[in-house]
Structure 1
Amino acid sequence: MGQGHDHSVSAAGNERKLAIAAALTGGFMLAEVVGGVVSGSLALIADAGHMLTDFASLLLALGAVMLTRRPASWKRSYGYDRFSVLAAFVNGLSLFLIAGWILYEAIKRFQEPVEVLGGMMFWVALGGLLVNILAFWILTRGEDSNLNVRAAALHVLGDLLGSVGAILASIIIMLTGWMMADPILSVLVTLLILRAAWKVVGESASILLESAPAGLEADKIERAILDGVPDAAGVRHIHAWSITEERPMLTMEVDGKPGADPKSVRLAVKKLLHDRFHVDHVTAEVDIMEAGALPEQA
């Protein structure tokens, strides 16, 4: 009972932190768009695009925490965790569109420079930096091992660089009047967006395609079982995939040595995979060999 209560309290705390951080980030993202349009700063708009990625990641993390409370059903036996992966994939693809638009506008400004109001740009960018610092502090205060919260905090930390870039561009414009600082730094911020988008799309696509998670290669699993389970004579038809990054799954068939107890072999295999590979969901079919028989090949 105690563990269930602690989990409920932790989930509620995560929801609260993520909701506050999302409200801060989303609210100031709109302010940056307005400030960027009024001041003429592409760097501010680019930083707002990066802040949009943070806002989306915070909402995804919040949704994932909320959805994990919903029980699995006969129709969705794995629950609703995969929804966050699908949303991350779509969000990642949209980031490429945002980055493409910013790069297009930057190229136009290299050809035809636009006057930027450095003072307004500075104060809006400074406000964005303070919002990011506050959101990061909210997400990281206290002790929490939730992966979604840690990932969201890293997104916010990355956005600090975008705010710093916009501040640097505004200072250069105010001191020198060199308008090229705005599109140049907007391109640098865009590279941050593309890096985040590439990682999000790649990881989410790998999960949606049910690729084997890193470290769960079939040959490694087979060797670990044959070396670590004395009554296992062979392993075949190994399939590894994941529902989310935190929920790897394994199925396999195991040949038990003559006279071995199928239940004991199955429990030993599951314990080994849990202890060595950190996989909690394992389906292992155990067939006991007849004396003198050879293990079947995969």
Structure 2
Amino acid sequence: MTEHAHSHGHGHSHSHSHGVSPDADRRWLRAALVLLTAYMAVEVVIGVVAQSLALISDAAHMLTDAVSIVLALIAMRLSARPARGGYTYGLKRAEILSAQANGITLLLLSVWLAYEAVQRLISPPDVTGGLVLITALSGIVVNLICTWLLSKANRSSLNVEGAYQHILTDLFGFVATAVSGLVVLLTGFAQADAIATLVVVALMLRAGTGLVRESGRIFMEAAPAGIDPDALGDHLVAEDEVVEIHDLHIWLITSGHPALSAHILVAPGGDCHKVRRNLQELLSGEYGITHATLQVDHVGEQGDADEVLTLGPRPAPGTAPEPAADHCENAHGPVHRPGPHRH
């Protein structure tokens, strides 16, 4: 007896744990985008006039902030489309692509700014400290407002988190720039501008690496952070009538949408339907996995304790049964059985 059970609750309650609707998310992001774009245009002009790389680097980073928000908005629209054709999950992973693009732009920009900053440490140009200080202080205000706007959106989405990380890094960058402007103004130490840029670079590297790593985990079908597949497999196999679990896969479709599939072998005479229901309740209640596809089979009656994989083929009418064959010759990943040993 084989049963394929699909749980269709994709866990929307998980993906919007803050109770924020996607439309509200989009409104917060759009407001931040308008504010950022307007300020960025002003900052580029002042940065060129004041000859401040720290200001220009902040403006360049603001450009990536704006792009990150545009990407986030596009990804939200794409991921909301219903599943059809070859895209059986819909375009939900567009959000993860957006998060990865945000991470990569942060890393690339940090390399360019690091190079420019080192050049300026060696031969610093004249920097107009007062102008830098005033612009950076106003930038802090703009970024604080944008950070607040994005914090109102649903940050459990890696996509929104990507845009948020961009703007938060920018906020720290403006603080560093304001300090450098003050130092130049008071002491005439022109290298302060380049040092402030290197502080921003370090922050960008940290944020970019985190985004690329997290999005990479989702693309590589890794288990969600905080869930140990081996421990989960051992937990499931300890349930009544479960003899073995193999082909256990846990992955994230997109942020907040975990999914699981597994092949469950039940003791001869066990109730497959009941076992499947119990396991799905356990997965939903304890692990928050509401999209589980479980294939449940009875173990072969003729198998002994060490051959739980032996499910014999059905003999044709009037013929003797053939010797049992392995049910899954190439089980993917570890095989979970009750007791201390696992194969």
TM-score by structure 1 length?
0.88
From the superposition, tell whether residues 49 and 195 of structure 1 become closer, same or farther in structure 2 (CA, over 3 Å): farther
Higher RCO by CA contacts (8 Å cutoff, separation 6 or greater): 2
Task: Kindly report which structure 2 residues correspond to 1:84-95, keeping only aligned pairs within 5 A, or say none.
Answer: 84-95=95-106
From the superposition, tell whether residues 89 and 9 of structure 1 become closer, same or farther in structure 2 (CA, over 3 Å): closer
Counterpart in the other structure of 1:246: 256
Quick one: distance in 1 between partners of 2:92 and 2:59?
28
Counterpart in the other structure of 1:215: 226
The answer to whether the Cα contact below 8 Å between 1:50 and 1:189 also exists between their aligned partners in 2 is no
* 2:40 paired with 1:29: yes
**Greater Cα offset, 268-277 or 207-216:** 207-216
SS in structure 2 of the partner of residue 287 of structure 1:
strand
**Greater Cα offset, 8-17 or 75-84:** 8-17
Quick one: distance in 2 between partners of 1:122 and 1:273?
54
Q: C-alpha displacement at 1:289, in angstroms?
A: 2.2
The answer to whether the Cα contact below 8 Å between 1:68 and 1:81 also exists between their aligned partners in 2 is yes
For structure 2, the residue ranges without an aligned partner over 5 or more in a row are 1-11, 310-330, 336-343
From the superposition, tell whether residues 280 and 60 of structure 1 become closer, same or farther in structure 2 (CA, over 3 Å): farther
* 2:83 paired with 1:72: yes
- What is the one-letter code of the residue matched to 1:11? P
- What is the one-letter code of the residue matched to 1:177? G
- What is the one-letter code of the residue matched to 1:257? A
- The structure carrying a bigger helix percent of its residues is 1
TM-score by structure 2 length?
0.77
Quick one: distance in 1 between partners of 2:47 and 2:126?
12
- What is the one-letter code of the residue matched to 2:206? R
From the superposition, tell whether residues 87 and 64 of structure 1 become closer, same or farther in structure 2 (CA, over 3 Å): closer
Quick one: distance in 2 between partners of 1:106 and 1:235?
56
Counterpart in the other structure of 2:236: 225
Greater Rg by CA: 2
Q: C-alpha displacement at 1:91, in angstroms?
A: 3.2
Quick one: distance in 2 between partners of 1:197 and 1:151?
9
* 2:271 paired with 1:261: yes
SS in structure 1 of the partner of residue 97 of structure 2:
helix
Aligned length: 291
Q: C-alpha displacement at 1:291, in angstroms?
A: 4.4
SS in structure 1 of the partner of residue 190 of structure 2:
coil
* 2:247 paired with 1:237: yes
From the superposition, tell whether residues 137 and 95 of structure 1 become closer, same or farther in structure 2 (CA, over 3 Å): closer
Quick one: distance in 1 between partners of 2:71 and 2:235?
36
For structure 1, the residue ranges without an aligned partner over 5 or more in a row are none
SS in structure 1 of the partner of residue 264 of structure 2:
strand
